[in-house]
Structures are given as structure tokens and as C-alpha cells.
Amino acid sequence: MSSPDLSKIQSFLGDSRWQVQVLEEVTSTNTLLKELGRQGAPVGTVLVADRQTGGRGRLGRTFPSPGGVGVYLSALIRPDCAPTELMHLTCAVAVAMCDAVEAAFGFRPGIKWTNDLVVGTKKLGGILTKLGLDPKTGRVSYAGLGIGINCGQLPGDFDESIRDMATSVRMVLGKEADRERLIAEMVLALEGMELHSPARMLERYKADCI
């Protein structure tokens, strides 16, 4: 299978001002985005990789990232605030990703606290957010929003060690899933994410949380 088609992704994005780059292979989209954030990349810089050779989840766990089947995406935002004002960031991204999956495919995953997307008892995806701080002010210089979602896998595509714990959009739907549509909906959900109303967002998070 080939890498996601950028022109098809853009056809779903409409008037979005965020800039999506599709890469065939990277160590980690989050690692690359971190460097771009330090170099001054603009808000809305989005990296999508067909495969990652060093994908990581929470607590440094390996996040399997084979080519042709998953969505591995990192997006850059620059909220002007103290880091303590973004304690809810991962929760906000999780809700946004539930919105994206629902918009793309018509079913809504749940959230397993704090950063896993699940369907029933099986993991559909994971989220990893990282903050970069301005050393002079201590305020947030940028935030990297990293998401990996299993899209096209069949049961045999997962390693035997995680096969009983993992699922994919394709497995849920019982048919092939459109990666480009999912990527576009993820970008739109992140672009429209409301970070300045944490109480309202946390109510939505609680409703999705299993």
C-alpha cells in the first residue's frame, strides 16, 4: 500500500489554513515536529507519516507504526499561556479525535484515561502531547499534538503480543477505511479545538471516558 495521498487529504480540508505534509517514513512525527517547533514553524504545521521506525507512546512505550495501515500524525500549536493552563491538553485532543473518527466513519470511540482511544476493550489509538517552553518567560512556546490511530489493520497485522488488545477502524467497520478522510477530519478537529473552556471540554471528556 502507498503513502496517504496529500491531494485527496486537501480535498477534504476545505478552507482549512493548516498545512499538511505527508512523509513516507520518519523515526517519529513528534520528534520531527519538536525540531520544527524550536525552529519557529507556524501554527497548523501538520506532519503525517506512512510509517514510523521509532514511534513512542506514553511513558516511552513503543507504538507500532507499520506502513500502509495506520495514521501517524503530529500537529503544532502555539498557545500563549503558562504550562499550568494546559493541564487538560491531552484530554482536549482525545475528545477531538473522538469527534474526528465519528465524523469520518460514523462511530464514536471511547477514551481510556488518559490518552488511549478504545472501542469496547480494545485499543484503537493513542495520544502523546509535548510542550516546549520559552526559557526566558517559562510560558509555552509550542505544543506538539501526536496521535496514532489504527486504520486499515486486520487482526493478523498486529503482533501476537497485542492482537487480543488492539483493533482498527477497518475491523470495526468490517470494510476498508479511508485514511485520507480520517487524516482530514483529525486536522479539522484539532484546528477547531477549544482550549480556553476547560470546564466545558472536561465534561465532554467525562462523557467519552470509559
Q: Which three cell numbers stand for residue 56?
A: 513512542
Contact 154, 173 (CB under 8 A): no
pLDDT tens string 121-160: 999 999 999 999 999 999 999 999 999 999 999 999 999 9
Q: Look at the pTM and tell me if it is higher than 0.85.
A: yes
Single-letter residue type at 198: P
pLDDT for 82-132, tens place per residue? 999 999 999 999 999 999 999 999 999 999 998 999 999 999 999 999 999
Q: For residues 84 and 31, give the distance between their C-alpha atoms in angstroms, rounded to a whole number.
A: 23
Distance CA 114, CA 153 (A): 24
Q: Are 111 and 161 in contact (CB under 8 A)?
A: no
Contact (CB, 8 A) for 130 and 102:
no
Contact yes or no for 150/68 (Cβ under 8 A): no
> What are the C-alpha distances in Å from 20 to residues 1, 17, 96, 178, 200?
20, 10, 18, 17, 29
Pairing of strands 70-77, 110-112: unpaired
